[in-house]
Chain A
Amino acid sequence: MNLTYFSFFICIIVCTLIITYWAAKRSKTTNRFYTAAGSLTGFQNGLAISGDFISAASFLGIVGTIAIHGYDGFLYSVGFLVSYLIVMFLIAEPVHHLGKYSLADVVVFRFNSNSIRSVMAFGTLTISFLYMIPQLVASGLLLRLLLDIDYSISVVIIGGLMTVYVVFGGMIATSWVQIVKTVVLLSGTFLLSLIVLSRFHWNPSAIITEIIQQTPLRKQFFIPGKLLDKPIELVSLQLALLLGTAGLPHILIRFFTVRDTKEVRRSILSATSIIGTFYLITLILGFGAIALIGYERLVDADPTGNLAAPLLAKELGGDFLLAFISAIAFTTIVAVVAGLVISATTAFSYDIYHHILKRGKASEEEQLRAARLTALGIGLISTVFALRLENMNVTFLVSLTFTVAASSNFPVLLLTIYWKRFNRIGAITGMVTGLIASLSCLILGPHIMNLNGGWITREPILPLYNPGIIAIPIGFLSAMIASLLFRNSSQPEDEEMAQFFVQAHTGIDIRRKSM
């Protein structure tokens, strides 16, 4: 590793540790540890949401997919972006009104039940681990390719950093690491896209001509259907992307970090502007990568195209720019995994330890100690898993997290907030069935059961790479059918129901909650 790389990485590590030190002095209460005491402004939270959301898989993956498969790669960006409309119109405000620290709070508000809290916490833990471990594995592989450092060293560095941020700095450190990441990522990629455009003398049609020369798809590059040739796969993918975001716990708990509803809306408005701009930039980078590097070199470096952005940086600015982009990718990874650690931590230490094991009677100090220990435990567990999974191809799990979230958390949240006849049994059934359905679709599908190098070598039982179109309706239907079947049992009192709906839609209790 030469000096340029080394100094970029040290710079990022030192900066984020300074943030953590500053945040640690402010994370002395549970309210601050879990939600930064609602102290972020809407714009800051918007930056943090973007930092939480844009994973290395989106940054490197989408640039690569666009470079190799053309138009279809861009459909991922469209799905990721439009999903924020679901969050904005249907989910964010009620979640902010009803939840205190965790997603389970929202559902428990309506059906006061420990079993629901456990099931919701279990769902959050599953989704967070399912998302975090593959990212750690991917980041280890990425750093090995980019910097030529050992896989286990890079996993330990990233795993260690995310744990330190959360253990000491809680939500405050996590938020500011994510804010810094978004600023660095957006400015870095924007700069890179300007260099790409200047190479072609700011003439878009020159890029298009060059792409047609370079890609084996020729003019087909600009036409859909080159990556997902089965229509049902595409529709299924788009469905999972659209509904997934509104079920991702690490994104939704970010709505607890602002003061009021206006700031919630401002957060989403800023997040969509930032994420939208970012995806337009990745489009330029994807085009630049194929036009300037060419198909063979891209595929030689990495068949999935994940190295397109780094290769492009090297082509345009040599080692210096490559080091810069690698450092950005590194920041991207640590910011996302830190967000996942804090959402998993909240689910365990707040939902399971405080509410279920201690029956809500743990003292402030006990809660805080439990939260820090949980964060440490979660950091360690996922790092150990990532170390052992080096040779397993687990990166596909990242995109499947959206399917899992869309078929378990999302139906339960939506029905809890809007459906009057929904009940406790429906909520539990929906969560459990949604999780089981999405995970079994994954196991029975071609990602795992595959004749060519699957974990289970056999014909897949379910031939869909994107099982959302099956799993998501199962999640919804099971929740609704169970509610209707058991409609006489377990309906909360009228008084509680009325309170729930009034608070969900007007946020009446907010000011009392924050005191």
Chain B
Amino acid sequence: MIYLNGNEYLKGSHVKERVDYVQVEQSEQFQQFMKERKRFILPYTIFFLVFYFLLPICTSYTSFLNTPAIGDISWVWIFAFAQFVMTFVLCIIYVKKAGALDKQAEQIIHDQIQKGGAA
């Protein structure tokens, strides 16, 4: 399919600078790429939003986090530090995962545009 798309490009008489973005956007390759991006960004975003707002909501509407967790340190502190850990971990996950998606984006640029442009 990917090859076919490229092939279709070759048949057309495109000027070198002009890229048919409509075709690129509708290509299965790009749609697949967007789907994967969404599938990875959306759940993480929902997760960190929920995790983040749980802290102010729990500390201001309830007091169960005020109980000691480890020695004198109470759960509110653990939860606050957990936000730091979460931020750092999610950043690393993003960098790793987005790096993998980069390869797909490059492939799209290569297949859809460079080939089309070369014609």
Q: Which residues of A contact B (CB under 8 A)?
A: 71, 74-75, 78, 81-82, 84-85, 88-90, 93, 205, 208, 222-225, 228, 230-231, 234-235, 237-239, 242, 261-262, 265-266, 268-269, 272-273, 276, 279-280, 494-495, 497-499, 501-502, 505-508
B102, A261: Cβ atoms under 8 Å?
A: yes
A223, B95: Cβ atoms under 8 Å?
A: no
Query: When each residue 84-104 of chain B gets 1 if its CB lies under 8 Å from chain A and 0 otherwise, what string results?
Result: 101110111011001100100
Q: How far is the CA of A93 from the CA of B105 in the complex (A)?
A: 13
When C-beta atoms are compared, the residue in chain A nearest to B49 turns out to be A242
A502 contacts which of B25, B48, B56, B80 (Cβ < 8 Å)? B25
B72 contacts which of A205, A237, A499, A506 (Cβ < 8 Å)? A205
B52, A88: Cβ atoms under 8 Å?
A: no
Q: Is B5 an interface residue (CB 8 A)?
A: no
Q: How far is the CA of A506 from the CA of B59 in the complex (A)?
A: 41
Query: When each residue 71-85 of chain B gets 1 if its CB lies under 8 Å from chain A and 0 otherwise, what string results?
Result: 110101100100110
Given A82-B83, A269-B95, do A498 and B24 touch, yes or no (CB 8 Å)? yes
Given A89-B41, A262-B102, A269-B91, do A234 and B59 touch, yes or no (CB 8 Å)? yes
Given A498-B24, A502-B25, do A276 and B56 touch, yes or no (CB 8 Å)? no
When C-beta atoms are compared, the residue in chain A nearest to B52 turns out to be A82
Closest 4 CB pairs of A and B: A231-B60, A498-B25, A499-B21, A224-B59
Q: How far is the CA of A494 from the CA of B25 in the complex (A)?
A: 10
B53, A238: Cβ atoms under 8 Å?
A: yes
Q: How far is the CA of A222 from the CA of B67 in the complex (A)?
A: 11
Q: How many A-B residue pairs have CB under 8 A?
A: 131
Chain A contacts for B105, CB-based, 8 A: 505-508
A78, B33: Cβ atoms under 8 Å?
A: no
A265, B98: Cβ atoms under 8 Å?
A: yes
A222, B77: Cβ atoms under 8 Å?
A: yes
Q: Is B55 an interface residue (CB 8 A)?
A: yes
A74, B80: Cβ atoms under 8 Å?
A: yes
Q: How far is the CA of A296 from the CA of B81 in the complex (A)?
A: 29
Q: Is B32 an interface residue (CB 8 A)?
A: no
Given A74-B80, A90-B45, do A506 and B108 touch, yes or no (CB 8 Å)? yes
Q: How far is the CA of A338 from the CA of B109 in the complex (A)?
A: 38
A223, B74: Cβ atoms under 8 Å?
A: yes
Chain A contacts for B30, CB-based, 8 A: 502, 506
B24, A225: Cβ atoms under 8 Å?
A: no
Chain A contacts for B88, CB-based, 8 A: 272-273, 276
Q: Within the complex, what minimum Cβ distance (angstroms) separates A505 from chain B?
A: 6
Task: Identify which of A228, A495, A506 gathers the most chain B CB atoms within 10 Å of its CB.
Answer: A506
Q: How far is the CA of A273 from the CA of B55 in the complex (A)?
A: 21
A75 contacts which of B48, B56, B95 (Cβ < 8 Å)? B56
Q: How far is the CA of A205 from the CA of B72 in the complex (A)?
A: 8
Q: How far is the CA of A273 from the CA of B80 in the complex (A)?
A: 16
Q: Is B3 an interface residue (CB 8 A)?
A: no
A238, B45: Cβ atoms under 8 Å?
A: no
B76, A78: Cβ atoms under 8 Å?
A: no
Chain A contacts for B74, CB-based, 8 A: 222-223
Chain A contacts for B80, CB-based, 8 A: 71, 74-75, 78
A238, B34: Cβ atoms under 8 Å?
A: no
Chain A contacts for B34, CB-based, 8 A: 501, 505
Query: When each residue 25-57 of chain B gets 1 if its CB lies under 8 Å from chain A and 0 otherwise, what string results?
Result: 110001001100100010011001000110111
Q: Within the complex, what minimum Cβ distance (angstroms) separates B100 from chain A?
A: 12
B33, A269: Cβ atoms under 8 Å?
A: no
B45 contacts which of A75, A89, A228, A505 (Cβ < 8 Å)? A89
Q: How far is the CA of A268 from the CA of B90 in the complex (A)?
A: 12
**Given A75-B55, A208-B72, list of 5 further CB < 8 A pairs?**
A84-B87, A90-B41, A93-B98, A222-B76, A499-B19
Q: Within the complex, what minimum Cβ distance (angstroms) separates A256 from chain B?
A: 19
When C-beta atoms are compared, the residue in chain B nearest to A93 turns out to be B98
Chain B contacts for A497, CB-based, 8 A: 25
Q: Within the complex, what minimum Cβ distance (angstroms) separates B78 from chain A?
A: 12
B53, A235: Cβ atoms under 8 Å?
A: yes
Chain B contacts for A237, CB-based, 8 A: 56
Chain A contacts for B45, CB-based, 8 A: 85, 89-90
18 chain-A/chain-B pairs, Cβ below 8 angstroms = A71-B76, A78-B52, A78-B83, A84-B91, A85-B45, A88-B90, A90-B41, A90-B45, A205-B71, A222-B74, A231-B61, A262-B102, A268-B91, A272-B87, A505-B33, A506-B109, A508-B105, A508-B109
Q: How far is the CA of A269 from the CA of B89 in the complex (A)?
A: 10
Q: Within the complex, what minimum Cβ distance (angstroms) separates B8 from chain A?
A: 16
A88 contacts which of B25, B86, B91 (Cβ < 8 Å)? B91
Q: Is B15 an interface residue (CB 8 A)?
A: no
B60, A224: Cβ atoms under 8 Å?
A: yes
Q: How far is the CA of A82 from the CA of B48 in the complex (A)?
A: 8
Q: Within the complex, what minimum Cβ distance (angstroms) separates B6 from chain A?
A: 15
Q: Within the complex, what minimum Cβ distance (angstroms) separates A247 from chain B?
A: 16
Chain A contacts for B37, CB-based, 8 A: 505
B56, A235: Cβ atoms under 8 Å?
A: yes
